[in-house]
Amino acid sequence: MNHPAPSLLKATFAIVRKDLAAEFRSRELLSAMLVFSMLVILIFNFALELDVKVRQSVTAGVLWTTFAFAGTLGLNRSMAVEKDRGCMDGLLLAPVDRSAIFFGKAISNLAFMLIVEAIVIPLYAMLYNEVRIFQVEFLGVLLLGSIGYIAVGTLLSAMSVQTRTRDVLLPILLFPVAVPVLLASVKASGGIIAGADFAEILTPLNLLIVYDIIFIAVAFMVFDFVVEE
């Protein structure tokens, strides 16, 4: 008899493999996210003609603004493609736990966002001559913030994809809910870049971890009800 955990894991990673294979064939999603991110970075680079100290203070805000908007674009297109091609109905009819769909989509969306971040951060460092972002602590905060943002974003994109105004509705729903994750990420990232003591960034870091756990748990519990509607 098969245990539920292995079957859940198998279904989850089957969805991840499907999404990654489809994306690497078409490159539609990653291309849109990368072009958008690079445009935002270039606009900030030419708009913020600041001295080194002030520029350092806005680095975290600029990066997280870029990643938030690019992530929203990716979330929207990821679910919209499933809906338009009729794949979402197939996923819902599959004899697997609905949470496998959530975790599969969330992991693939997170992978896309991390790929974009891995390309954008070196570009930003080159334009701004900012080397402090290449720290293990900064990359850890980046991962935690991305996980929280994608967790709630995947849930809300599954909810908004059923509507006609999905392109407009997702940002309206997502940004207010994701504000705690973004604020904690910016605060922690900014402290690390500024060379603050660990005690100073401990509070936003703890908040980020707590929000990640809460968002993942809530999304896991209500995803089944969301996709049933």
pLDDT of residue 2: 47
Question: What pTM value is reported for the model?
Answer: 0.85
Q: Measure the CA–CA gap between 200 and 197, rounded to whole angstroms.
A: 5
* Residue 207: band (very low, low, confident or very high) from pLDDT cuts 50, 70, 90: very high
| pLDDT one-digit tens code per residue, 58-96 | 788 888 989 998 888 888 877 777 666 666 666 666 666
Task: For CA atoms 147, 125, 193, 66, give the dihedral sign.
Answer: negative
Question: Crossing angle for the helix pair 98-128 and 4-26, nearest 10 degrees?
Answer: 50
Domain of residue 59: give its range: 4-228
Q: What value does the mean pLDDT take over residues 200-223?
A: 89
Q: Per-residue pLDDT for 56 more than 50?
A: yes
Number of domains in the chain: 1
The CA-CA-CA angle for residues 95, 100, 104, to 5°, reads 130
Structure token digits, residue 92: 């819902």
Q: Measure the CA–CA gap between 83 and 158, rounded to whole angstroms.
A: 9
Q: Per-residue pLDDT for 11 more than 70?
A: yes
Beta-carbon contacts of residue 53 (< 8 Å; ≥ 6 apart): none
